[in-house]
Structure 1
Amino acid sequence: MIQISGAPFQPDENWKLDSIEESIIQHMLHDPTVYSYASADELLFEVNMRKNIIKSSKEMSESEAQFTTFEYATCNPRYWNLTAQGGFLLRDDVQPADAILDIYRNSSLYAFECATAAVILYYHATLNSIGRTLFNSLFQNLYLYSWNTDPDLGIVTFYSTNYIPGDVVYINNPDFHDNAPWFRGLNAVLLNDGRYFGHGFNIRTKEEIIDILNDHRNPGSQQSAYMTNLVTRPSFNSLASLVSQQRSYRAYKMYYPVIHHNDSSISYVNYLYYLSNGVY
């Protein structure tokens, strides 16, 4: 359900929505969750950013960026400093937008795991949604490692049985093989056609992803991989507010501590658990 200024949403015939945007709107209309916006512009910002997340996912699927663990992560040294923990730290002499774009333009130089991939998708989609000037102002201290993010992305996670295209969901493999812990699960983006993109898996159906994960379980396992009810997404309304106000400067921004846990392919909830328990 969609509400604009407290009233039920009525589609505007003058809106020229493409097939991806129409799919997003229809999913939101049929979701029992109330999606509330102060204005139609706020709604359109979220729809556009969700579309950009989907487009960024498809571009990454077609790129030469490889899946790997933190130990073997690689990046373009012209834009990033590779840390000992396998993270990508933005160089001081580089603009954030240029560094994010380079991951797509020179994708063969990059290798990372799937939680980092989800964050890269968010940044790429945000850049394409808000423009490089505001992006460069907001995200000056980028560090790509697992689910570590800038607070202005406003990442939220919750449990729901309803997903909207552009959401990141988590497919869990509780009995992953001891010799392949990176198959513990997959962070995957729901696309507009009902399929999912997960870094290292490309674009597949839910059933195909589960079959692949099941092939990497401990011998004799009877516990199948499964789609969880975990949904993760940026705070679209907060980002829309930053755009409308063109608020690019803050006197103080509190950054989250970085959790160097070395576990590939974890969910955002798992990362928050590490954060709350002081796992460094």
Structure 2
Amino acid sequence: MIVINGESITESNLSNLEGLEKTIFQRLFNDSEVYSYDSIEELRFEIALRNNIVASAALMEQGEARFETFAGTQCNPAYWKLTDVGGILIREDVNPSDAIADIFKNSQLYAFECATAILILYYHAILNTIGPKLFNEYFQDLYLYSWHFDSDLVMQSVYTYYTIPGDVVYFKNPDFNPLTYWWRGENAVVMGDDLYFGHGLGIKDASYIIEFLNGTRKPGGTKPAYLSDYVARPSFTHLAKLSSSPNRRTKHQHPVIIHRKNSISLDRYLFYLYRSYLPNQ
């Protein structure tokens, strides 16, 4: 259900949408949850950003960036510095917009794990939605490492099986092999039509991802992999307000996390996700 200024809208309010953007609108409209906006422009912003997240995922899938654990992380030294823990820290003498764009332009120079891939997709999609000027103003000092995100990338978390293109879901592999602990699960972007993008796997349907993860179980493991009901998404309304009110910019010292109805603690989830990369689990 979509509510703008306290009033629900009809499908005719955005009848000019086509393709994936129309699908995104219909999924928002048909959801039993309430999606509230201050203006029709905020709704249009969310639809555009979700569409760009899917487009960025498709572009990454076409590129040559490789899946690697933190120990094998690689980056282009012309834009980034590699940290001791496998993080990718932006150089002080480059624009954030150019550094993010380079990951897709010179993808053969990069390697990272799946959570880092999701953040890169978010930043790339936001850049393509708000433009380089605002992106460079808001997203300085970028650090690409697992789920460490810029304070202006406010995140939401929710338990639901009702997903919308641009959402990020998690396929869990409970009987993962400790020797290949990086396949404990897979973060994946909802592309639509039961297709998901997971870095290292490409764009696949749910059954393929589950079958792949089942093939990485520990010897004797019998618990099947499954698509969990955890969904992560950025706060689209927060980002819309940043793009429309650049003079009211506020910087938070720590990442902000919004919890909706039926939501879980994202920071707690990320803690468990971080632990999942440790081989002695």
* Superposed pair shares fold, TM > 0.5: yes
2:253 alignment partner in structure 1 = 254
1:157-172 correspondence to structure 2 within 5 Å? 157-172=157-172
Judged with a 3 Å threshold, the aligned counterparts in structure 2 of structure 1 residues 186 and 273 are, in CA distance, closer, same or farther, namely closer
Partner of 2:146: 146
Q: Residue 73 and residue 14 in structure 1: after superposition, are their counterparts in 2 closer, same or farther (change >3 A)?
A: closer
Which residue does the alignment assign to 1:49? 49
Letter in 2 for 1:8: S
Q: What residue is the counterpart of 2:236 in the other structure?
A: 236
Q: 1:175–1:273: structure 2 CA closer, same or farther, 3 Å change rule?
A: closer
| Amino acid in structure 2 at the alignment position of 1:87 | G
1:15 shift after superposition:
4.9
RMSD: 1.8
Structure 2 SS opposite 1:101: helix
Q: Percent identity?
A: 48
Asked if the contact 1:177–1:218 (Cα under 8 Å) also holds between the matched residues in 2, the reply is: yes
**Cα offsets for 1:216-246 (capped at 9, x unmatched):** 0011111000111100000100000111112
Other-structure match for 1:260: none
The equivalent residue for 2:205 is: 205
Q: Distance in 2 between matches of 1:269 and 1:224?
A: 24
1:10 is displaced (CA, Å) by 1.9
Q: List runs of 5+ in structure 1 lacking aligned partners.
A: 257-266
Q: Does the aligned pair in 2 maintain the 1:157–1:230 contact within 8 Å?
A: yes
Deviation at 1:272, TM superposition (A): 4.0
Q: Deviations over 1:83-126 (max 9, x none)?
A: 11111000010100000000000000000000000000000011
Distance (whole Å) between structure 2 residues aligned to residue 2 and residue 21 of structure 1? 15
1:157 and 1:269 in contact (8 A); partners too: no
Deviates more, 1:153-162 or 1:178-187: 153-162
CA distance in 1, matches of 2:140, 2:104: 19
Would you say the 8 A contact 1:157–1:268 is kept in 2?
no
1:14 and 1:50 mapped to 2: Cα distance? 16
Aligned residues, how many? 265
Deviation at 1:192, TM superposition (A): 2.5
Tell me, in whole angstroms, the C-alpha distance in 2 between the residues paired with 1:135 and 1:248: 15
The 1:272/1:221 distance shift into structure 2, 3 A limit, reads closer
CA distance in 1, matches of 2:268, 2:113: 17
Asked if the contact 2:45–2:236 (Cα under 8 Å) also holds between the matched residues in 1, the reply is yes
What is the distance in 2 between the residues matched to 1:249 and 1:32? 33
Comparing 151-160 with 78-87, which one deviates more in the overlay?
151-160
CA contact (8 A) 1:90 1:142 kept: yes
1:83–1:89 Cα contact (<8 Å) kept: yes
What does the per-residue CA deviation read over 1:163-185, in whole Å, with 9 as the maximum and x for residues that have no partner?
11100000000110111000000
SS in 2 for 1:221: coil
1:116 aligns with 2:139: no
The runs of 5 or more residues in structure 2 that have no matched partner are 256-265
CA distance in 1 between counterparts of 2:96 and 2:249 reads 15
> Is this contact kept in 1: 2:11–2:29, CA < 8 A?
no
